[in-house]
Amino acid sequence: MAVSFTIRFDTRSKEVLLDSLRKELAIAEEEIRMGDYSSDALIRHEEILQIFRGILYSKPEEPTTDA
């Protein structure tokens, strides 16, 4: 079983992460468009895309109130 991690981030951090991942995804896509269909290139693209989606689809936590 793979080790997994949990992180918490605010709205601005989410934007920064997504922006950085968009740039990396564009680089990975360009390499494929330029003819690099190696397993490493395809796996790298897929991994970045999965991380991007995970962050993009993450929902904010509901604030908790102690009554």
The 10s digit of each residue's pLDDT in 7-60 is 999 999 999 999 999 999 999 999 999 999 999 999 999 999 999 999 999 999
- Sorted by where each begins, the domain ranges of the chain are 20-56
Of the pLDDT bands very low, low, confident and very high (cuts 50, 70, 90), residue 67 is low
pLDDT for res 15: 98
pLDDT for res 65: 77
Of the pLDDT bands very low, low, confident and very high (cuts 50, 70, 90), residue 64 is confident
**Read out DSSP for the chain?**
----------HHHHHHHHHHHHHHHHHHHHHHHTT---HHHHHHHHHHHHHHHHHHTPPPPPPP---
Question: Can you give the pTM of this predicted structure?
Answer: 0.83
